Structure 1
């Protein structure tokens, strides 16, 4: 590993180029790599250091670094810095996409496997596959919406009525059919909300200091600044939220109050009310991500407490199946048209066979029982992990398909993940949920993988227990 010592290695002239400064800086770094002035493994200056050297804001450097990291030109590691990537290294965005594939697992539930992927949840098949196959067959034989025209909002009404039935709950507040916009999964819902909300040249999106990476990815894609907000065991700290809104054009707070991803914590009602007070005083909107919990909470949602500024999103990925990419977004009543237009302008709407499927699946009388059986199986896997890891700090809930393991002293998250992969288990390090310059805790997130048998899952957790008990020499500290 080497570090830049010659401050003139990166040649950049902002005055002679009319493009945005972060684009100019990005090109200068690429040119230095192409010339061989920056070789693979070279550590680049810290964001603030390079900003001072070339006379731009830290945000400009951070954006240039982020774009270069996304395409694999640079490699960033929390706590170590930003480096010129080695040849052949995949960029983080591709690693994230690859991680969604549950490799080395059977197509259905219950197979035995030594390799166990705990990167993303894999739900058990308890009958929903057969139900979906049957409904798809009926739709293919006689598609109610036809197959020869574009989707239209009016033609999705039956699907939105089914979604209203599926989502309706006192904690969500009054729900009308026209409140619901169908989306291609929860991530698409996040993108649509940000497109509908963010305005101006440099809008800012507020996120928890550890948060779902999809919030950051969409915000950066829309050229918004991402500002982390400190949290504690009850979620976002109201004073930290208020402070974060002072020096930026803060427009949207992204949060998951019922199930925080990745720490599995829940924000109590009293804290939620404090956050609503800050949001109103600072005039920011709230994106409430409700995609993780498998059983509805009785706590009031932000949509119920602050309906004038809450954009609520949900999906069936953690309750029925992630394969269908079926999600829902609900805007404040005064912004329903903006959200609907964002959906129509981005894709013209949901594919008609999918809206036909949603119209039947979400009201099928067998669905509540299947979802209850899914929760029961996931709960069994979670309790098994908790028993094997007894004595360690494991945050988990039987109705949530991932867990948060705080590592004992001596382990770093990245080292533990490498050691775990060496014994056939894939995990996510805490740094994947932290900002570029943040100090991530030494912890890992592991998901329930019910695509393998309970015996295979338990064996994988026992291998992790062995690592925790006896860290290999040189990998700890």
Structure 2
């Protein structure tokens, strides 16, 4: 096989990876490489050609996407079987050629072929339902179009929201307890505005945590202190020390589906953390925006109702476009939370509250939710099928996965390499304090806005990168 590489770069003025691609194409067409024949490992071919392993990996990836080659986990890269009817005479389908020629000008309008930075819900009928309801509201708006939002005018929406929230393991929710926000992030800000006091208040967060916690705290000039975690979530002893040393006022946590690690905090651990919070008069902010299925474990709102604040939204279950979130306060603190919202933006736009009054109780919504979960589950399963040989952490009902990287990859380098292949990810560095050390891991969000086969090809690109980490050279 070595002889086929002798003229690889002859007369080639373009990128080296492209020259490798063209040479393999010619070898397959000319039968120098036959179906089923194994190609050299990435590092071996890179050494033969005096180029980087990344260049060879990129060439193999392009040809794998086109169907010229096929990668088999643990075995290597092989020439694919003969092409089927419907592909061109070179052996490459037209849609694949388009995909390769312009990998960064397709999905999402943000310059990435497959954007896995944030979850993207599947469209399974929500748009049609919302369009229908908005059409009815536009014809005869219950709140009109010429009035400021009012507490009484939003009452039907709060009643609908209370019913919707009561189904999410937080116990009975009364209409008077619901405070609307402009999405989940705004709800976090409202809670912190209602809780924090003093010139430099302290907010505690998990050592790996949703970056929105830190951003909301920084807006209010609060200091943020990370708390150590283990496989069950926040370590009680670490919380005890942090609460005592820093005189902290609130703990921000995601115990149901931790972002980004997917850790689930069990009941006994939650009870231990509640005891510490009571000893130190620490408030608890529970962010449950990502949890989309039922759970048997009670929320902090049920375990410690006198100090628990609950935040969620419709962004991860219905649509993020409407920017509607919900916040719940301890019983005697609802007035503080409501005041933060009303003094901040007076209330949601009246067409939105009119829509929520109908959407959240529409009998068709349950079936749409079931279908949404089914599609998310299928995309998660696709990712697991391709990347499951690595230490992938996943749950079928959560629209993201956590991937600790194999030896040879650092998180920043892997994100850059994936981005060069048209796949956008989030590095673990996004989820830690600037002064903290981040694990070499990435978060992959489910993007159900792209076709399933496009998503699968993105997973195959990531697997090829994982299979071929940058060469480590000892000096």
TM bucket (normalised to shorter chain) is 0.7 to 0.9
Among residues 196, 199, 211, which one is paired with 1:201 in the alignment? 199
Give a deviation string over 1:67-108, Cα, whole Å, max 9, x none.
Answer: xxxxxxxxxxxxxxxxxxxxxxxxxxxxxxxxxxx984269x
- 2:250 is aligned, of 241, 247, 252, to 252
Offset of residue 114 of structure 1:
8.1
Distance across 2 between alignment mates of 1:429 and 1:103: 23
CA distance in 1, matches of 2:376, 2:199: 44
What's 2:438 paired with? Answer: 440
Q: Deviations over 1:5-64 (max 9, x none)?
A: xxxxxxxxxxxxxxxxxxxxxxxxxxxxxxxxxxxxxxxxxxxxxxxxxxxxxxxxxxxx
Cα deviation for residue 265 of structure 1 reads 1.3
Structure 1 residue aligned with 2:139: 141
- For residue 273 of structure 1, the aligned residue among 248, 271, 274 is 271
Deviation at 1:312, TM superposition (A): 0.4
The equivalent of 1:60 in structure 2 is: none
- Whole-Å Cα distance in 2 between the matches of residues 106 and 216 of structure 1? 27
Q: Give the structure with higher Rg (CA).
A: 2
Structure 1 counterpart SS, 2:463: helix
Shift of 1:472: 3.7
Q: CA RMSD in A?
A: 1.8
Unmatched tracts of structure 2, length 5 or more = 1-103
Residue aligning to 1:38? none
Matches within 5 A, 1:67-82: none
Taking the aligned partners of 1:124 and 1:303, their CA distance within structure 2 comes to 30
Of residues 352, 360, 363, the one that matches 2:361 is 363
- Alpha-carbon distance, 1:169 to partner: 3.0
Asked if structure 1 preserves the Cα contact closer than 8 Å seen for 2:404 and 2:441, the reply is: yes
The within-5 A match list for 1:157-168 is 157-168=155-166
Give 3-state SS (helix, strand or coil) of 2:245's partner.
coil
The residue number in structure 1 matching 2:407 is: 409
Name 1:458's counterpart in structure 2: 456
**What SS does the corresponding residue of 1:134 show, helix, strand or coil?**
helix
Residue matched to 1:327 = 325
Match in the other structure for 2:99: none
* Counterpart in the other structure of 2:172: 174
Post-superposition Cα deviations, 1:356-411, rounded to whole Å, max 9, x if no partner, equal 00000000000000011000000000011001012100111110001000001111
**Structure 1 residues 253 and 307, CA gap change in structure 2 (3 angstroms):** same
Alignment of 1:297-312 (within 5 A): 297-312=295-310
Would you say how many aligned residue pairs link Structure 1 and Structure 2? 371
TM-score (norm 1): 0.76
1:294 CA drift (Å)? 1.4
* Cα distance between partner residues in 2 of 1:448 and 1:476: 37
Give structure 1 regions of 4+ aligned residues with deviation exceeding 6 angstroms: 474-477
Cross-structure match for 1:215: 213
Structure 2 Cα separation of the partners of residues 288 and 239 of structure 1 = 20
Deviation at 1:245, TM superposition (A): 1.0
SS of equivalent to 2:191: helix
How far apart are the structure 2 equivalents of 1:134 and 1:170? 26
Change (3 A) 1:377 1:475: farther
TM-score by length of structure 2 reads: 0.76
1:105 aligns with 2:103: no
8 Å contact from structure 1 (residues 202, 249) kept in 2: no
- Is residue 408–residue 470 contact of structure 2 (8 Å, CA) maintained in 1? no
Structure 1 counterpart of 2:96:
none
Q: 8 Å contact 2:400–2:446 — kept in the other structure?
A: yes
Assess if the C-alpha contact under 8 Å between 1:430 and 1:440 holds in 2.
yes
Residue of structure 2 in register with 1:418 after alignment: 416
What are the Cα deviations for residues 419-473 of structure 1, in whole angstroms up to 9, with x where unaligned? Answer: 0011110000000000011010000001000110110000000100000001244
Q: For 1:284 and 1:392, how far apart are their aligned partners in 2?
A: 39
Q: d(CA) in 2 for partners of 1:473 and 1:122? A: 34
